[in-house]
């Protein structure tokens, strides 16, 4: 019996062991093939994903010459602002910077995730040669660096996010929406002097800033309007008063020129409104009509940001400044028409702002209320016109621009990259002439001349410590910071696209 069992076991080992070995080898080969197939699928998916992503950008090197003329004024020295002994007469003087260099690198990301889903982003490094990461406060609003202008201020060499948003545009319905950091800088018609395609959505005379929020759009061509007609509803946050930003606690102390002061609960600043755009096929050439309305709700005196020598003028280290009060609401209205025919381009833009102050609300820093009047509404207006002429024989373009704002004019344009000061916020007039020369297909040279002629101080601010007529620059005003009446800016730019 044992012999029979032994034979059967031996036979099974002889027959089944090779089969098991073969099966094991086959299983291993199948696993290898599956692994290889997975690797190939992963590689194919990665290649497909890469094919959906475009990565490109531009690099700009700029030279600026600047000259400021400061008229006679009375310098506030501190103490009781009603005491005339606290002011010193300052005679007219000039300030000049003969050579300022800066570099701007913009990296753009464009991803077509699906036929209905699209992501866009832009990273920016904007660096002044030998400059500082935080500017010295000089009374201009663009010397406070915060979320709305952080990539436009020419300071350090850090990459920052200017834009990052995705758009969902379903094919079945005419509606779409965009969430994230919106394309709200360099809007129409500022693309002309940049010699680029349109860069932003809202008209530049109203808004030129980095804005976070949501945008819901409607393709109006579905209702019979010309192809490309769109209405966009916009909603965003200009100042976050809750946890994570301005108000982690109900009350806090801030430093001011008058000493420590208590800041109580604040409301968020919100921006709501919309933009409309439409081509006009009846006019020969390429046309674009844009219009918009925005309301800034619970506008604060200042946003959370960094500067030097303020609010403590004896401290040169970077200092955090933050909002102290909600001052009221501000309306912005604007319209712009652009036309290009046989390479000749021109535009005309008109805008208006209107304040709605909360009664008697002023800044604890001493900067006053909305448009210098915390009790009654004030209205400002501005216009902006220009043209660009082709010089085909030498592949050049000559441009001329002019803008003017009245004493109560205010626009949310702190994100504009004009070196001296955002020109479209000027209470007064600005003339600009420029020439663009194409050097190679992707390389342009641009030289230009800007001349600012200010009528009032506090251009760019939505606040003032008194009625604006008190700050006419040709009437020796009393000021906490000197304000120029004339600025000359000569610039030269090499602009590379890649």
In the prediction, which pLDDT does 3 show? 58
* Comparison of pLDDT for 37 and 290, the residue scoring more: 290
In the prediction, which pLDDT does 311 show? 85
Contact in structure between 464 and 478 (CB atoms under 8 Å):
no
* Interatomic CA distance for residues 186 and 211, integer angstroms: 12
- Nearest CA to 165 among 149, 152, 178? 178
Question: Are residues 28 and 162 located together in one domain of the fold?
Answer: no
Residue-wise pLDDT for 194-235, tens only, equals: 999 999 999 999 999 998 999 999 999 988 999 999 999 999
Supply the range of the domain harboring residue 378.
52-497
- Distance, CA of 296 to chain centre: 16
DSSP per-residue string spanning 266-315: -PPEEEEEEEEEE--TTSSSEEEEEEEEEEEEEEESS-SEEEES-S-TT-
Angle at 295 between CA 480 and CA 337, to 5 degrees: 100
- Nearest CA to 154 among 181, 184, 183, 124? 124
Average pLDDT, the chain: 88
Q: What stretches of 84-185 adopt beta strand conformation (E)?
A: 87-90, 93-114, 117-128, 160-168, 175-181
Residues in contact with 233: Cβ distance below 8 Å, sequence separation at least 6, in sequence order: 215, 216, 217, 273, 274
In this prediction, residue 22 has a pLDDT band, given cuts at 50, 70 and 90, of very low
Contact in structure between 184 and 152 (CB atoms under 8 Å):
no
Question: Are residues 302 and 433 located together in one domain of the fold?
Answer: yes
Which residue among 51, 66, 83 closes a domain? Answer: 51
In the prediction, which pLDDT does 478 show? 94
Question: Are residues 493 and 361 located together in one domain of the fold?
Answer: yes
Question: Are residues 96 and 242 located together in one domain of the fold?
Answer: yes
Angle at 450 between CA 387 and CA 124, to 5 degrees: 90
Contact in structure between 255 and 312 (CB atoms under 8 Å):
yes
Contact in structure between 477 and 415 (CB atoms under 8 Å):
no
Question: Are residues 393 and 383 located together in one domain of the fold?
Answer: yes
Phi-psi region of 343 (alpha: psi -120 to 50; beta: other; left: phi over 0): left
* Interatomic CA distance for residues 115 and 135, integer angstroms: 44
DSSP 8-state secondary structure symbol assigned to residue 241: -
Residue-wise pLDDT for 178-187, tens only, equals: 999 999 999 9
In this prediction, residue 2 has a pLDDT band, given cuts at 50, 70 and 90, of very low
List the single range of 25-29, 259-263, 274-278, 444-448 with lowest mean pLDDT: 25-29
Strand partners, 259: 256
Residues in contact with 193: Cβ distance below 8 Å, sequence separation at least 6, in sequence order: 386, 388, 399, 401, 432, 434, 436, 446, 448
Give the CATH number, domain containing residue 251: 2.40.160.10
Asked, as a colleague might, if the bond just before 281 is cis with ω within 30 of 0, I would say no
Question: Are residues 44 and 80 located together in one domain of the fold?
Answer: no
* Interatomic CA distance for residues 290 and 278, integer angstroms: 7
In this prediction, residue 377 has a pLDDT band, given cuts at 50, 70 and 90, of very high
Residue 354 has pLDDT above 80, yes or no: yes
- Nearest CA to 481 among 423, 402, 421, 413? 421
Residue 175 has pLDDT above 70, yes or no: yes
Question: Are residues 207 and 288 located together in one domain of the fold?
Answer: yes
Question: Are residues 338 and 313 located together in one domain of the fold?
Answer: yes
Residue 29 has pLDDT above 80, yes or no: no
List the single range of 152-156, 219-223, 402-406 with lowest mean pLDDT: 152-156
Residue-wise pLDDT for 438-455, tens only, equals: 999 999 999 999 999 999
DSSP 8-state secondary structure symbol assigned to residue 86: G
Question: Are residues 240 and 120 located together in one domain of the fold?
Answer: yes
Residue 47 has pLDDT above 70, yes or no: no
List the single range of 71-80, 106-115, 136-145, 246-255 with lowest mean pLDDT: 246-255
Tokens 């990052």 -> residue: 164
In this prediction, residue 250 has a pLDDT band, given cuts at 50, 70 and 90, of low
Question: Are residues 248 and 266 located together in one domain of the fold?
Answer: yes
Calculate what percentage of the chain has a pLDDT beyond 70.
88
* Interatomic CA distance for residues 74 and 82, integer angstroms: 13
Phi-psi region of 68 (alpha: psi -120 to 50; beta: other; left: phi over 0): beta
Question: Are residues 13 and 64 located together in one domain of the fold?
Answer: no
Report the SS3 class of residue 414: coil
Q: Which helix (H) or strand (E) holds 217?
A: strand 212-219
User: How many residues appear in the chain?
Assistant: 498
- Residue 6 φ then ψ, to 5°: -60, -40
Question: Are residues 377 and 460 located together in one domain of the fold?
Answer: yes
DSSP per-residue string spanning 444-488: EEEEEEEEEEESBS-TT-SEESS-GGGGBGGG--EESS---SEEE
* Interatomic CA distance for residues 50 and 235, integer angstroms: 32
- When divided into structural domains, the chain yields a total of 2
Residue 141 has pLDDT above 80, yes or no: yes
In the prediction, which pLDDT does 164 show? 96
What is the mean pLDDT of the segment spanning 135-150? 86
In the prediction, which pLDDT does 1 show? 52
Q: Is the pTM of this model over 0.85?
A: yes
């Amino acid at each position: 019996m044992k012999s029979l069992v032994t034979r059967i076991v031996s036979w099974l080992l002889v027959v089944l062991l090779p089969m098991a070995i073969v099966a094991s080898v086959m299983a291993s080969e199948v696993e290898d093939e599956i692994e290889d197939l997975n690797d190939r699928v992963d590689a194919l998916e990665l290649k497909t994903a890469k094919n959906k992503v475009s990565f490109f950008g531009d690099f700009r090197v700029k030279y600026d010459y600047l000259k400021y003329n400061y008229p006679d004024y009375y310098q506030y020295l501190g103490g009781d602002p009603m005491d005339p002994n606290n002011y010193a007469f300052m005679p007219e003087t000039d300030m000049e910077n003969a050579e300022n260099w800066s570099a701007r690198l913009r990296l753009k990301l464009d991803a077509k995730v699906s036929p209905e889903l699209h992501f866009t982003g832009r990273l920016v490094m904007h660096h002044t040669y030998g400059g500082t990461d935080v500017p010295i406060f000089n009374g201009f609003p663009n010397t406070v660096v915060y979320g709305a202008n952080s990539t436009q201020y020419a300071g350090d060499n850090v990459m920052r996010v200017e834009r990052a948003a995705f758009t969902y545009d379903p094919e079945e319905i005419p509606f779409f929406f965009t969430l994230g950091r919106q394309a709200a800088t360099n809007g129409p018609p500022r693309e002309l002097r940049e010699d680029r395609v349109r860069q932003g959505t809202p008209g530049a005379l109203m808004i030129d800033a980095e804005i976070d929020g949501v945008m819901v759009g409607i393709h109006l061509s579905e209702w019979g309007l010309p192809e490309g007609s769109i209405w966009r509803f916009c909603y965003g946050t200009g100042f976050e008063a809750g946890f994570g930003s301005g108000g982690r606690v109900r009350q806090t102390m801030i430093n001011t020129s008058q000493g420590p002061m208590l800041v109580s609960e604040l409301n968020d600043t919100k921006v709501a409104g919309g933009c409309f755009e439409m081509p006009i096929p009846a006019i020969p050439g390429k046309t674009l009509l844009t219009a918009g309305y925005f309301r800034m709700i619970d506008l604060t005196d200042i946003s959370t940001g960094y500067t030097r020598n303020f609010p403590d003028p004896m401290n040169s280290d970077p200092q955090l400044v933050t909002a102290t009060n909600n001052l009221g609401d501000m309306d912005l209205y604007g319209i712009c028409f652009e036309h290009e025919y046989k390479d000749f381009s021109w535009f005309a833009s008109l805008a208006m702002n209107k304040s709605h102050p909360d009664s008697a609300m002023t800044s604890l820093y001493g900067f006053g209320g909305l448009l210098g009047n915390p009790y009654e509404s004030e209205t400002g207006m501005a216009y902006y016109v220009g043209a660009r002429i082709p010089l085909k024989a030498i592949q050049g373009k000559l441009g001329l621009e002019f803008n003017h704002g009245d004493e109560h004019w205010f626009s949310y344009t702190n994100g504009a990259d004009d070196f001296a000061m955002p020109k479209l916020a000027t209470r007064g007039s600005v003339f600009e002439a420029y020439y663009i020369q194409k050097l190679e297909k992707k390389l342009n040279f641009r030289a230009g001349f800007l001349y600012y002629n200010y009528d009032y101080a506090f251009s760019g601010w939505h606040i003032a410590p008194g009625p604006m007529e008190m700050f006419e620059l040709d009437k020796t005003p009393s000021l906490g910071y000197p304000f120029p009446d004339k600025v000359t800016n000569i610039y030269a730019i090499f602009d590379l696209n890649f």
